[in-house]
Amino acid sequence: MKILFFAPSAYLLGGVQDWLADLVPSIRLRGHDVTVAVPDGILHRLESYSQAYPELACIGLQNPTGSQEGRIQSIVNRITSIQPDLIVGVNIASIYPAVARLRSRGDHVGKLIITLHAIEADYLEDLREFRAIVDTVVVTNKLTATLVAQESLIPNDRILYAPYGVRMPTINFPVPTSDDVLRIAWVGRFEQAQKRVHDIVPILNRLDRISFPYCLSMAGVGPEALSIQEQLQPWIRSGKVRWLGLLDRHQLQLQVYVQSDVLLITSSWETGPIVAWEAMAAGLVVVSSRYVGSGSEGALKDGHTALLFPVGDYDAAAEALAKLFDLNLRTSLANAAFEMVSRRYSDAASLASWLEVFNQTMDLPPLIVDHAKFAQFADTAPSGRLDRWLGVTRAEYLRRFLGLNFHHLSAGSEWPHSMHGAGDNGRLLSMATRIEAHA
C-alpha cells in the first residue's frame, strides 16, 4: 500500500505525535510506502518537527499566502504528485475540501481515512458535513466510535477502532519496596478543561491533612503552567513537589517513570491516554479519575488494573493514593496492569490493529461519487477582501504574485484542526457520560 499522512507540525510533544512517530516506521518495515506531509510555514515548521521526529522523514506543505485556498491547493498538489492508495488525516481540516475538489474533477484519489483523537464537537461536525467523502473513521477509544455513529451519521461499518501503542520492556519492572514515601507522578498538558490540572492542589491538601508521606513529580507544558506552578510553590519549596516541566519521551522515562510508583490522572475525558499505558508498561500503578472514555474502553478496572475515583472528587483521589502504601496491593495492581497493556496496547498489538484498519478500508466498496455535491464541498469561503472582490482563484493568484500573506496569531489559525468553530462540547460530554453509564 501507498499511504499518505497529513499531520500538523506545530506541536512537538504529545500523545498523537508519539503515536505517529512509532506507527509510521513500523508500517514501513512491513513493506508499505508511507509519506508524512506536514505544514511548513510560520508557526508550523517542518525543520523543527523533523528534528523532533527524524524517523518520520516528513515532507513539507507550503502555503505562502496563508489562506484557506492556499492550504487546499497545497494538499491537492501533494495528493496528485504521490497518488496514494490511502490518505490519512490527522487533525488537518483542509484535507476535506482538498479531497472533495479532486473527486469533483473526477481525478483518481485514494480512499480517505480520518483519524479521531479527541472528543470534540467541532470534529464531529466536520465528519457530519463531509461524510460523503470519508471512507473510514478510525477511533482510538471505543466510546468515540459510538459518538461518531450518533453525531456524524457515519455508517457503523466505516467506523473502525485501533488503539495507541507503547513500547514494552522485555521484563516487568519490579514494584519498589520502599514504604517511607509514595512517589506520585502527574504527566500531561497543564490545562483545566480536559486535564483538570488545578485538581492537584486540593488533592495535595487532603494528603497533607492525613499526614500522608509523598513526593509528586509534575511533568508537562500548557497554558496553565505558570498558574499551577505558582499555586504549588509551598510544596515545591518543601520538596514535596518536583517541578520538571517539559520532557521528551526519553527524559520522561528516566526522570519520571523510573523514579515513581504511581501515575495520577485527573482528566474529565480522554481517548487514551497514552501516558497511562506508558506508565503501566513501566510498572507504575495508575490512580485515575473515572474520566469520560474510561468506561467504554474498559482498560482501567477499579481494584484490578487501577484505582479509580469520581472526576473532581479530591477526597476519593487522596484515599485511593493512600491505599497504595499496601505493597501487596501495589504489586497486584502493577502486575495486572502490565499484563493488560502487553495484550492490548503494546506497540505490536497497536501496529496489528492499524494495519488491519488500513486493509479493511482498502476492501470496502468505494463511495458513490456525487460530483455536484463534492464540488460544493470544494468551494473555498472568502479569506479576505480580495476573495470577495476578485473571486477566490484570482485573489489567490494575485496574493502569490504580489507576495501577500495572512499573519496568523496561532497554530490553529495557520492550519486549523476543524472546518467549524468551537462546538457544543458540554452537550457532547453529557451524551458521552450517559453512554458511559451503560458501559
CA distance 125 to 13: 26
How many CB atoms lie under 10 A from the CB of residue 177? 8
In this structure, are residues 285 and 333 in contact, taking their beta carbons and an 8 Å threshold? Answer: yes
358 with 391, same domain? yes
Angle at 133 between CA 111 and CA 119, to 5 degrees: 95
Q: What is the dihedral of CA 348, 350, 352, 356, to 10 degrees?
A: -170
57 with 143, same domain? yes
Q: For 398-434, how does the pLDDT look when each residue is reduced to its tens digit (9 = 90+)?
A: 777 777 788 888 999 999 999 887 778 889 888 988 8
Task: Assess if residue 28 is contained within a domain.
Answer: yes
**414 phi and psi angles, rounded to 5 deg:** -65, -45
Task: Assess if residue 36 is contained within a domain.
Answer: yes
Domain boundary pick from 345, 373, 407: 345
Task: Assess if residue 438 is contained within a domain.
Answer: no
Residue type at 95? Answer: I
- pLDDT value of residue 439: 67
How many CB atoms lie under 10 A from the CB of residue 191? 17
DSSP assignment of 159-225 equals EEE----BPPPSSPPPPP---S-EEEEEEEE--STTT-GGGHHHHHHHHHHTT--EEEEEEEE-TTH
Domain boundary pick from 345, 377, 400: 345
Check residues 297 and 394 and name the one with the higher pLDDT: 297
Q: What is the mean pLDDT of residues 240-256?
A: 92
DSSP assignment of 215-250 equals EEEEEEE-TTHHHHHHHTHHHHHHTSEEEEE---HH
159 with 13, same domain? yes
Task: Assess if residue 148 is contained within a domain.
Answer: yes
207 with 327, same domain? yes
How many CB atoms lie under 10 A from the CB of residue 62? 13
Q: What is the mean pLDDT of residues 123-148?
A: 94
CA distance 255 to 242: 10
The grid coordinates of residue 134 equal 470519508
SS3 323: helix
Q: For 312-356, how does the pLDDT look when each residue is reduced to its tens digit (9 = 90+)?
A: 999 999 999 999 989 999 999 999 999 999 999 999 999 999 999
359 with 314, same domain? no
Task: Assess if residue 171 is contained within a domain.
Answer: no
Q: For 157-197, how does the pLDDT look when each residue is reduced to its tens digit (9 = 90+)?
A: 999 999 999 988 865 555 555 568 999 999 999 999 999 99
Q: Is it the case that residue 275 has pLDDT exceeding 70?
A: yes
pTM for this predicted structure: 0.90
Task: Assess if residue 174 is contained within a domain.
Answer: no
Domain that holds residue 149: 2-165+351-430
CA distance 288 to 195: 11
Number of domains making up the chain: 2
Q: Kindly give, in sequence order, each residue whose CB lies less than 8 Å from that of residue 325, ignoring residues fewer than 6 positions away.
A: 179, 182
In this structure, are residues 242 and 264 in contact, taking their beta carbons and an 8 Å threshold? Answer: no
